[in-house]
Structure 1
C-alpha cells in the first residue's frame, strides 16, 4: 500500500497548516498557540476526546475505532528552537529569535493528517491516543507527560514517533532495534578567581588560565579513561569570561554536553569530570563548582515494535526505501521516556537534501507530510485491525 490517497488529496491543506505553524514558533513548554491550533483542528475532525493541560501545553486526543481493543499512542513534538531564521521563505518565522529548525512543525502536521484520516475512516479496533507534546528540545516534555500519567490514564499499550532526516532520500525510512539515540547530560562549570589589572597578573587568581586547563583536561576523558569502541561524546560548547583586554576577570564559565549509551560510561564521565574540575581548581588556586545534570536517557527501541514499524513503512515506501538495522546516533530524544514506559519504536523519515537540523537555513520538506501521515494511519490499522483480537 503506497501513500493513502485521501491523505494525498489534502496535502495542500496540510502544507498550509505546516507553514502557518512555521511562522509562529514557540519554545519549550510555552506552546500555547500551537496547542490551540492543534486542538481546533482536532475538534473540526470530530476527534472523540481532547484532553488539555499535560506538561502545561501538551494535549492528548482520543479517536475511537469501530470495536473494542487496545489503545495505541502516536506522538508528535511541537516546540521550536531559539534560532534566528535564515531560510528567506515566504513562510519564514514572524517571531524574532525563534524558528522551527528541527521540523517539529512538520511532525505536528503529519500527526494531524493521520488524525483527520483516522477520524473519517475509523477502520481499526480499539482507540488511538494522539499525543502532542511540548518541550522536546529542552525540558523533557515527554517525561513530564509520562509522570503526569498519560500512559495509564489512556491505557496506552504501545507508542510510536517519527522524526525527519535531512540528507536521507525523500520518503525513505530507517530505524533499528535497541538503542537508536544517545543519552544526553549537560555540565556547567563555574570558576571563581580574583580579578585585577592585566599588567599585574601576580596579584590575581586568573580564572581564564584555569578554564583553559579544565577544558584541555576534560578532553582526556574520552581519549584516556574510556574504551575506544564504547560510544562517547564530550563537547565543550561554551566558554564565557572577560570584558576588556587589560582586565583579568574574576569569573569564568564553561558549559557543554555529554552523550553516552552505557550507564557505566555515563557514571565514569561524571566521576572523572568532578575529579578534573577539583584538581584543576587546586592547581590554579581558584574555586570551581561543577553542576552535572543527567537529562534524557538513551532512546531504546523495542525489537518487536521496531520490526513491526519497519514492515508498515515498507507498505508505504517499498522494500528498498526502508532500513531496519541502522547504526545508532549520538543525538538525543526525550521520546526515550515514553519508550521506558511502554513498548514502541522511533523511526526517521528522509526529507531529501536540505540544511541540517538546528541550522538557521533548515526548513521542513512539505512533500514528506503524506508519507508520515500515511505511516501513522497505516500503523494503527495494521496494529489494531477490525476483527482482530
Structure 2
C-alpha cells in the first residue's frame, strides 16, 4: 500500500445499500436448511466469480470459498459467514418473507452472508491490500454435531486456504444496529446435548403397584437436576442445565414402559464441562435406581467454547473504533450462553468472533423466533467493516 492510499469507510459502501438489500431479501425468501444450501451457495459463487474472485465449491458439502490476491504480501486472512436457515414457520409478514413454509432465516445468516458479499465486491473493486483473502461461506452452523465448520475443516479448509487469522460475526438483538461487541478469551458457551431414557415397567393405571412408573422417575430426575448448578457449580462460574423436553406415555389409563428427557447443557471451561457431565449422569442413574428403574444417559458434546485470541480481538475492536467511533464499540461484552460452531475454527487458528447490534427494544426481536428479521441497516456497515479489517490486517 502506498502512502496516499486510504482505508474503506462507511461512505464508500453507502451506494451499495440498495443492492445489498436486494441480495439479502432474495436469500431470505429462499431459505435452505443445514447442508441443503444449494441455491444460496450457487448465488454466492456466481457473485464472487462476477467480481473476479477465484471460487472453490463443495467444501464441507455446500460450502464455498472465495480467494482474492493483491500485491506481493505473504500474509493471509480468513473471513467466515454462515448460510443455513432454520425449520421455523415465518410470521414476519414481510414482502420478502420465506417462500418455503417451515423454513426461515430466523438467525440472520442471510445478513451475515450478504455483509461478506458486500465486502467481497468492495475488496475486488479497490484491492487496497497486499496479500491473500479467503472468504469462507459455511453451511450448517445450526446443524449441531457434525456442523458445517467441522466438515469444512475436516476437508482441509485451513490447509487448502490457509490464513494467519480468522474472523467471524453474528448479529446481536438487544443492541442498536452498527454497535460492535467484542470480548477477549471465552465469549460463547460450549453447548452439549443430553438424552436420558428412563426404563421402567409399564402397566394398567389402576394397578400402579405392579409397575415401575417412569413418569414418576422422570419427574424426580427433573427436580434433582436443578441442584447441579445450584449446589455443585461454583456460584462465580456460569453454567446452565435446561430440560427442554420430557416425553412419556400416550393414554391416561396406561403407565408407559419408558420416559425420555432431552437436555441442553452450557459451560465455559473443560473442567466445568466435565463436572456437569459427571453430575448429570450420576444423578439420573441414582434417582432412577432408587425407584427400581434404569436410566440410560446419552451425552453428546457439541460445540466447544468460543475462545477469542487477545491480539486479534484487540485489533478487530480497533478497526471498529476507526469505522464507527468509540461510542459504538463495546470492548468487553458480557459472556453469552449461546453456542457457535465458529469455535472449531478458533481451535485451529487465532482470531475473534464479534457481534453487531441488530436492534433494541421492539426492534430487537430475539433470534430463532418466527418474527425475527435481520436489520438491513447493518448490511453496508458490516461490508465496510470487513473490507477495512482486511485492508488493515494486510497492511501490517
TM-score (norm 2): 0.95
- Residue of structure 1 in register with 2:293 after alignment: 286
- Residue of structure 2 in register with 1:15 after alignment: 21
C-alpha distance in structure 1 between counterparts of 2:334 and 2:366, whole Å: 19
C-alpha distance in structure 1 between counterparts of 2:139 and 2:162, whole Å: 21
1:171 aligns with 2:181: no
C-alpha distance in structure 1 between counterparts of 2:189 and 2:41, whole Å: 28
C-alpha distance in structure 2 between counterparts of 1:350 and 1:3, whole Å: 18
Deviations 1:140-174 (A, max 9, x none): 21122122221121221111011111110121101
C-alpha distance in structure 2 between counterparts of 1:52 and 1:284, whole Å: 55
Gaps of 5+ in 1: none
Deviations 1:158-205 (A, max 9, x none): 110111111101211010111111111110011222222222212222
Q: Out of 336-345 and 25-34, give the one that drifted further.
A: 25-34
Deviations 1:46-97 (A, max 9, x none): 11x1111111111111011132321100000011111111111111111121
C-alpha distance in structure 1 between counterparts of 2:51 and 2:293, whole Å: 62
Alignment of 1:369-388 (within 5 A): 369-385=379-395
C-alpha distance in structure 1 between counterparts of 2:253 and 2:162, whole Å: 64
Q: 8 Å contact 1:192–1:287 — kept in the other structure?
A: yes
Alignment of 1:1-389 (within 5 A): 3-47=9-53, 49-139=54-144, 140-353=147-360, 354-385=364-395
- Give 1:356 deviation, angstroms: 0.5
C-alpha distance in structure 2 between counterparts of 1:95 and 1:248, whole Å: 40
Q: 8 Å contact 2:12–2:384 — kept in the other structure?
A: no
Q: 8 Å contact 1:76–1:133 — kept in the other structure?
A: yes
Q: 8 Å contact 1:170–1:352 — kept in the other structure?
A: yes
C-alpha distance in structure 1 between counterparts of 2:11 and 2:72, whole Å: 24
> Runs of 4 or more off by more than 4 Å in structure 1?
none
Q: Out of 193-202 and 310-319, give the one that drifted further.
A: 193-202
Q: 8 Å contact 2:13–2:384 — kept in the other structure?
A: yes
C-alpha distance in structure 1 between counterparts of 2:104 and 2:223, whole Å: 34
Q: 8 Å contact 1:75–1:132 — kept in the other structure?
A: yes
C-alpha distance in structure 2 between counterparts of 1:273 and 1:281, whole Å: 12
Q: 8 Å contact 2:9–2:388 — kept in the other structure?
A: no
- Give 1:240 deviation, angstroms: 1.0
Q: 8 Å contact 1:218–1:276 — kept in the other structure?
A: yes
C-alpha distance in structure 2 between counterparts of 1:230 and 1:74, whole Å: 31
C-alpha distance in structure 2 between counterparts of 1:65 and 1:209, whole Å: 66
Cα RMSD after superposing both structures: 1.3
- Residue of structure 1 in register with 2:4 after alignment: none
TM-score (norm 1): 0.96
- Give 1:2 deviation, angstroms: 7.6
- What SS does structure 1 have at the residue aligned with 2:212? coil
Gaps of 5+ in 2: 1-6
C-alpha distance in structure 2 between counterparts of 1:224 and 1:340, whole Å: 31
Q: 8 Å contact 1:2–1:317 — kept in the other structure?
A: no
Q: 8 Å contact 2:183–2:308 — kept in the other structure?
A: yes
C-alpha distance in structure 2 between counterparts of 1:31 and 1:308, whole Å: 32
Q: 8 Å contact 1:67–1:124 — kept in the other structure?
A: no
